[in-house]
A and B are shown apart, each in its own frame.
Chain A
């Protein structure tokens, strides 16, 4: 469902020129649960940002559900974010002035879809936060905030969930819980691409793509979950 063809990303020019992605090609099937790993500066976050349209490719193509998305205008990409792709970030990126429930409803606000509180409540229940729906992010723990962010990602029923170091700010136990939640969501049919520098976490996914210096150096099928 997701195909990346000869993707390159170059920052800066001349002396300061940095190649973040160097001719990367890969495919991710529907229902996949893929981790992208690598050391800092290997280009793993850049790859994720490029898939999600947060950054632009220097060269190459990205095809999602049969259509090219790398050449869409900013305004056209809005539609992709509204239905096909959702994000989960390391820093959670919740709006501090809104409650957990309101944060989950936020993507629908921009689509002028009102009501749906029940769906949002259901999703909060799904991520185990039914007792924290009216709390603000500042009143929630890191793990809880990430659960809100996951519920927010699910509310638009996206084809693809992109997670950038979702457990990066958590202790091991909380991190394992979040990975467990992603695993469950994957079993329910969600396609997930996750960036992590932690090999143990990567081992929980079905497939691991290892990057180094902007190139794919290894693809591992993680069996026996």
Chain B
């Protein structure tokens, strides 16, 4: 027979008492798990909204506006500079972007990290109407425009495929299978996109190489969209670094709105986590109280064990085993309760946040619960071993 077996037998005899002691632990862990689950869901829902912004960075050709004057006569402004980005800059852009992300997130290795989607814009006439044609890298573009849904037909597959925005299809009465002339070449409409609410609704999208070839613009791009694919990526740093290192282009970070919203969520979460912390501390006092009673009830048993040769350390150990059991029971119930709490309250705090069951909080919950139970038990247990054995027998 081992000490922990004696403790377990005792716990089984006093089930109700032990459950009562676990209640304080349950309240503490329930709050922590509940708040963290809600906080997690809140951040997630904001991240999801952020994804709609698509790219974190947009690169455009650097164009300087200068005032054109003849003597004192103003002739308006003139755009000076290149109207294209050299495609040969792409490896350099990737190098800078991935390099900054690696540094910021301490990622090692050399696979590509960010998604980089180059674009070229040209005009073409379809049935007498001028339409913007965007040349895109089909896979990269899709990775950025996660909300793209092909309504009819398929996504781009071959060099001669084209997909069109919903408004383009409407205004030009185009269907899947129709042909679009491209400066002498021809592409076939293979798919129509669902309405996106952006300018793409009015465009025609073809593979980049096809467009470059048709308009003799090999090696030239109009814009480059970059999605850093992490929510804490240093987009401002990337933009600055690109602007410093590559001449003739201008990188713009497009996450200001996102930042403001994220800050708000973070503040709400900090507040909630502090409240959870306070609840936890109050919970600890509650458990201390219960354990005081629980230890006091067993003053006689402590006396018996010491009279037959238990050391103080062994008595404290016995209570620690009990605290462990209380912690595990309280932690599991607290985890369940916290998740339910999040389901109930989460949507009230973050509108539209979808609360999910987060199994990764189980070890956290158990850890917190066992720690709370152990801390709360230690003081009464140590105090109990200070009682003289003779007094322990007299007390009840």
Q: Is B296 an interface residue (CB 8 A)?
A: no
Q: Which residue of A lies closest to B2 (CB)?
A: A109
CB-CB under 8 A from B389, the residues of chain A are 53-54
Q: How far is the CB of B53 from chain A (nearest CB, A)?
A: 63
- Tally of A interface residues using CB under 8 Å: 32
Binds A, one of B3-11, B17-25, B277-285: B3-11
Complexed CA–CA distance, A150 and B304 (Å): 14
Q: Is B48 an interface residue (CB 8 A)?
A: no
Q: In the complex the two chains form, is A107's CB within 8 Å of B308's CB?
A: yes
Q: Is A62 an interface residue (CB 8 A)?
A: no
Known contacts A93-B304, A93-B393, A156 near B388 by CB under 8 Å: no
Selected contact of B12 from candidates A89, A97, A110, A111, CB within 8 Å? A97
Q: In the complex the two chains form, is B393's CB within 8 Å of A111's CB?
A: no
Complexed CA–CA distance, A80 and B301 (Å): 20
CB-CB under 8 A from A216, the residues of chain B are none
Complexed CA–CA distance, A89 and B6 (Å): 21
Q: In the complex the two chains form, is B2's CB within 8 Å of A152's CB?
A: no
Q: In the complex the two chains form, is A106's CB within 8 Å of B305's CB?
A: yes
Q: Is A161 an interface residue (CB 8 A)?
A: no
Q: How far is the CB of A101 from chain B (nearest CB, A)?
A: 9
Q: In the complex the two chains form, is A110's CB within 8 Å of B308's CB?
A: yes
Q: In the complex the two chains form, is A78's CB within 8 Å of B388's CB?
A: no
- 8 A Cβ contacts from A107-154 to B: 107-111, 114, 152
Q: How far is the CB of B236 from chain A (nearest CB, A)?
A: 63
Q: Is A82 an interface residue (CB 8 A)?
A: yes
Q: How far is the CB of B296 from chain A (nearest CB, A)?
A: 16
CB-CB under 8 A from A111, the residues of chain B are 309
Complexed CA–CA distance, A89 and B303 (Å): 12
Known contacts A54-B307, A81-B309, A98 near B314 by CB under 8 Å: no
Complexed CA–CA distance, A55 and B394 (Å): 12
CB-CB under 8 A from B310, the residues of chain A are 78, 110
Complexed CA–CA distance, A143 and B331 (Å): 44
Q: Is A33 an interface residue (CB 8 A)?
A: no
Complexed CA–CA distance, A152 and B308 (Å): 8
Selected contact of A54 from candidates B6, B9, B390, CB within 8 Å? B390
Q: In the complex the two chains form, is B1's CB within 8 Å of A114's CB?
A: yes
Q: Is A49 an interface residue (CB 8 A)?
A: yes
CB-CB under 8 A from B305, the residues of chain A are 95, 106, 110
CB-CB under 8 A from B308, the residues of chain A are 81, 86-87, 106-107, 110, 152
Q: Which residue of B lies closest to A56 (CB)?
A: B388
Q: In the complex the two chains form, is A55's CB within 8 Å of B13's CB?
A: no
CB-CB under 8 A from B145, the residues of chain A are none
Q: In the complex the two chains form, is B309's CB within 8 Å of A98's CB?
A: no
Complexed CA–CA distance, A54 and B3 (Å): 23
Q: List 26 A-B contacts (CB under 8 A).
A: A49-B390, A54-B307, A55-B388, A74-B312, A78-B306, A78-B309, A78-B310, A81-B307, A87-B307, A87-B308, A89-B307, A93-B304, A95-B6, A97-B12, A98-B6, A102-B1, A105-B1, A106-B1, A106-B305, A106-B308, A109-B6, A110-B3, A110-B305, A110-B308, A110-B311, A110-B314
* A-binding residues in B (CB < 8 A): 1-3, 6, 9-10, 12-14, 300-301, 303-312, 314, 388-390, 393
